[in-house]
Amino acid sequence: MSDIAAVRAALADAAAGLERLYGDEGTLATIVRAGRLLAETFVAGGRAYSCGNGGSMCDAMHFAEELTGRFRDDRPGYAALAISDAGHLSCVGNDYGYDQVFARFLEAHGRAGDVLLAISTSGTSKNVLAAAAVAQRIGVRVIALTGHPGTPLTELADIAIVTPAGRYADRVQELHIKVIHILIELVERHLAPGNYGAAR
C-alpha cells in the first residue's frame, strides 16, 4: 500500500466510525443526557472533574480547560478540573500506588452533587475504575466515556457514553474528542444560549 493509500484508508476508517456514531440514536441520546447533567451541576454550584491515562488524560485536560476558559464565544467560566497535577500524581503514585492517583484526589476534593468525567478507551483502566468507585461512594455522579460496552467502567457509571469506533484506541479517542466538544457545546446551549443565536 502506498503512503497516499494508507492516508486515505485511515481517513476512511475514521469517517466510518463517525458515521456509526452519527447514526446511533441511543448513544446520541446518552450524550444529550450527559450534557444536561453537566449543565445542571454547574447551575447547582457543583464542579466537574475529569480523569484518564495517556491520550485520555490529554482529553480530560482539554475538557476542563475548555470549560474554565473559552470554547467559542465569551461566557463565564465553569468550575472544571482535570486530575492531572504532576505533584499529586507522583505523590500518590509513590505512597499508595498508581491505581489510587485519581481516587485519592476525589476523596480530597469531590463533594456530593459534583460530576466526574471518567475516560478510558478500554473501560478497564484500574485507576479510572477506582475513581469511579470513590465517586459513587461520596455522591459524585459519573459520566463514563469509553469505547466498549459492558465494561467495568460502564457498570460504575450513572451515564455511559460508548463510542462505536472499532478495536483500536486511536479511533476511539478520535470520537472521544468530538463527544467532549459536543458536551461543552450542550453546556453552553443551556447556560449561555446567547452564544448560539438566542437573544442576539
Own/partner pairs for 8-16, CB < 8 Å, 24+ apart? 13/166, 13/171, 14/171, 14/174
Q: So what's the pLDDT on residue 198?
A: 63
Q: So what's the pLDDT on residue 164?
A: 85
Per the CB < 8 A criterion, the answer to whether 53 and 128 are in contact is yes
Q: Which residues does the chain have with pLDDT short of 50?
A: 200
Residue 45's alpha-carbon distances to 23, 27, 101, 114, in angstroms, are: 34, 27, 25, 9
Q: Exposed e or buried b for every residue in 113-123, given b needs 16+ CB within 10 A?
A: ebbbbbbbbbb
Q: So what's the pLDDT on residue 200?
A: 44
Q: So what's the pLDDT on residue 55?
A: 96
User: pLDDT tens for residues 83-140?
Assistant: 999 999 999 999 999 999 999 999 999 999 999 999 999 999 999 999 999 999 999 9
Q: So what's the pLDDT on residue 109?
A: 98
Q: What count of Cα atoms within 13 Å lies in the side-chain half-sphere of residue 115?
A: 29
Q: So what's the pLDDT on residue 197?
A: 87
How close are the terminal C-alpha atoms of the chain, in Å?
52
Q: So what's the pLDDT on residue 118?
A: 98
Catalogue all structural domains in the chain, each as residue range(s) with its CATH number: 3-196 (3.40.50.10490)
